[in-house]
Amino acid sequence: MTISIPLLLKGIFVGIIMFFIMAFQEISTAIFLYRGGWETLPIGLYLNWHRGMEFGIASAMAFLMVCVVFILLIIAARIGGGILKVAWGASGRD
């Protein structure tokens, strides 16, 4: 317990952040499962772009998401010791 947990902590933190990034931009499943009042940012973005033709708003939303992702990524890189190691986790292979 005293040995594993501190060793793992870094990996877990990076994992949490990467997971959050992936969950944050999820649209494929969400588009089928959302209902009125439950729209997430990607769904709002899709509706604005594709049905509403409000490109400015959609772009603003996308930019907002990119910013969130970017900030999280920098945090992950700080914790995980370099962007490369973090990306290794994100690519899903060992």
Partner 1 sequence: MSVRQGYEAGAGGRMSRPRFLLWHRTVRSEIVLSGFVWLVILFFIVYPVAFLVLDSFRIANTGQLGFHNYKAFFSDLYYLNTFLRTCLLSGLVLLVTTALSLPLAYILARYKLRGMTFFTALTLLPIVLPAYAGAFAWVVFFGRFGTFNLLLMRWGLISKPLNLLGFPGLVLMQSLHLLPFMVLSLMAAYSSIDPALEEAAEVEGASGIRRFLTITLPLSTPSYFAGAVLVFLWPFTDWLTPLIFGVTDLLPTIAYINIAYHFTDVTRRYMGIVSVVIASLVCVGSFLLLKTWIERKRYTGLSKGTLLGGRTIRPRLAIRIISYLYVVFISMLILIIPVVLALSGFSRRWVLTPLPRYWTLENFQLIFTEAGRLVYNSFRFSSVALLMGVFFGLLMAYLLARTKAPGRAGLEFVNSLMLVFPGVAVGVAFLRAFGMAMASLWLPTGSSCRWRFSCGGYRIFCAWPMLPTNSWTLRWRKPLKWPEPESSGHL
Residues in contact with partner 1 by CB under 8 A are 7-8, 10-12, 14-16, 18-50, 52, 54-66, 69-70, 73, 77, 83-84, 86-94
**Judged by CB, which is closer to partner 1: 2, or 91?**
91
CB of 5 to partner 1, least distance (A): 10
> Please, which residues have CB within 8 angstroms of residue 48's CB and are 6 or more apart in sequence?
54, 55, 57, 58, 61
**Judged by CB, which is closer to partner 1: 2, or 36?**
36
CB of 2 to partner 1, least distance (A): 15
Distance CA 68, CA 74 (A): 10
Distance CA 41, CA 83 (A): 26
CB of 81 to partner 1, least distance (A): 11
Residue 11 near residue 86 (C-beta atoms within 8 A) = no
CB of 39 to partner 1, least distance (A): 5
